[in-house]
Amino acid sequence: MVLFGLDVLLKEHLNVIKNKKVGIVAHPASINSQYIHIYDLLKKNGATITALFGPEHGFNGVAQDMESVHNDITKIDKIPLYSLYGSSFETLSPSEETVSQLDLLIIDLADVGSRYYTFIWTAVLCLDVCIKTDTPLMILDRPNPLNGISVEGAPQKEGFLSFVGLKQIAVRHGLTLGEIVLMNAKEKNALKLVTVIKTEGWKREMFYDDTHLPWVPPSPNMPALDTAIIYPGLCLLEGTEFSEGRGTTTPFEMFGAPGVDSVTLCKTLNSQNLLGVVFRPVSFKPMFQKHKEEICTGAAIHITDRNSLLPYKTGMAIIWALYTTSNNIFKWRHKPYEFVKEIPAIDLLTGSDFFRKSIEDGAHFNDIYSINEKETTLEINRLREYRIYS
């Protein structure tokens, strides 16, 4: 039986929260194994909740990606609700004044195992503020949905850090949020401030559905486990002007744009013998975001074997195929991305300008990926020392 860290807290560590002034960083997926939200559980069990914090998408999970959320107050209990995703980089951290008034800051965020997914960086920024204010930090850990063994996608180069990667780490990192916070706390000599309530019963080889725990979408465009599995690759499309399926019922599981030759695209991709995935021609109409209410043509992605699938390599292949077969409409994203104006989004996502320039120079994605693989091997060995689960 697998239990969330939240379940373990309630079962074994209630004395830690009773009569304490507590702040909670959470979202709609911050539930226990019985679907009850952390806010209700802690309030019922004696914690004095004095502040709530919401990451990207907000405490209530309503906002879309990169949509600013404002501070608010809970309608029932009148507790201040602070946004950790406003209109500037400075708003991504809680204020020192607010955190210094807490006896304990608790973070319970469901992550999806990809460097681009911003919740891990919200946790790291909270750690930084806790260090400055000498405030104890508790992480209620959760399983990595993609398993805790597979690692893919080399860390960023110096100069390419952002809110889709504040620290150098693999794209598919294979760590839990708790492990990532401990890694950063160790680097900052702040382990004494951090307590991780571990997930009980989780083994590193488990995908999320192996745990039999409930899935609640941690963000508006992460509806299912398959979405999370392909996300380390398909999120790369955010660095282009092609739709990554946002505005449809299957985001990150289809992609395209008006004018794409979907048959040629899928034939090109399927001929590359990518492991664990098949592409099918598709037409779709996004209801919001890129190409809103336009008919897009492109490909649907079907995962046939998640164990052999290399999602980051698949994402590289998709961009290579789009550049090759749809060069007349291919565009990189040049609008600001996660509060960065001067660096193209694709460079922030891949961690350097190497991928973008290689694609523009006509390189095959296999050649690009092989260079990436060598750096990833070093990363795998580095990350092993931060694992707290067997």
What average pLDDT does range 49-64 have in this prediction? 97
Q: Are 145 and 228 in contact (CB under 8 A)?
A: yes
- Give the pLDDT of residue 293: 98
- Give the pLDDT of residue 9: 98
Q: What is the total residue count of the chain?
A: 390
**How far is Cα 293 from Cα 289, in angstroms, rounded to an integer?**
9
Token pair 């194994």 is at which residue? 33
Q: Where in the chain is the domain with CATH 3.40.50.12170?
A: 5-220
Rg, C-alpha atoms of the chain: 21
CATH number for the 225-378 domain, one of 3.90.550.10, 3.90.1150.140, 3.40.50.740, 3.30.420.40? 3.90.1150.140
pLDDT, tens only, 20-32: 999 999 999 999 9
Please report which confidence band the pLDDT of residue 205 belongs to, taking 50, 70 and 90 as the band edges.
very high
What average pLDDT does range 324-339 have in this prediction? 96
pLDDT above 90: residue 36: yes
| Percentage, residues of the chain above pLDDT 70 | 100
Q: DSSP string of 237-289?
A: GGGBSSB-STTSSSTTSEEEETT--HHHHHHHHHTTT-TTEEEEEEEE--SSS
Token pair 């090759």 is at which residue? 324
pLDDT, tens only, 122-152: 999 999 999 999 999 999 999 999 999 999 9
**How far is Cα 192 from Cα 189, in angstroms, rounded to an integer?**
8
Q: Are 239 and 345 in contact (CB under 8 A)?
A: yes
What average pLDDT does range 186-191 have in this prediction? 97
Q: What region does 57 belong to: left with phi over 0, alpha with psi -120 to 50, or beta?
A: left
The CATH topology of domain 5-220 is Rossmann fold (3.40.50)
pLDDT above 90: residue 342: yes
pTM, two decimal places: 0.97
What average pLDDT does range 322-351 have in this prediction? 97
**How far is Cα 87 from Cα 163, in angstroms, rounded to an integer?**
13
- Give the pLDDT of residue 275: 98
Q: Are 235 and 349 in contact (CB under 8 A)?
A: yes
pLDDT above 90: residue 160: yes
Closest alpha carbon to 277 in 259, 296, 299: 299
pLDDT, tens only, 222-243: 999 999 999 999 999 999 999 9
What average pLDDT does range 61-81 have in this prediction? 93
Please report which confidence band the pLDDT of residue 287 belongs to, taking 50, 70 and 90 as the band edges.
very high
Query: Cα-flanking dihedrals φ and ψ of residue 184, to 5°?
Result: -70, -35
Q: Where in the chain is the domain with CATH 3.90.1150.140?
A: 225-378
What average pLDDT does range 306-327 have in this prediction? 97
pLDDT above 90: residue 70: yes
What average pLDDT does range 68-84 have in this prediction? 93
What average pLDDT does range 283-292 have in this prediction? 98
- Give the pLDDT of residue 75: 82
What average pLDDT does range 47-58 have in this prediction? 97
- Give the pLDDT of residue 187: 96
Helix, strand and coil in the chain, % to nearest 5:
35, 15, 50
What average pLDDT does range 315-319 have in this prediction? 98
**How far is Cα 179 from Cα 267, in angstroms, rounded to an integer?**
41
| Percentage, residues of the chain above pLDDT 90 | 97
**How far is Cα 15 from Cα 8, in angstroms, rounded to an integer?**
12
Please report which confidence band the pLDDT of residue 76 belongs to, taking 50, 70 and 90 as the band edges.
confident
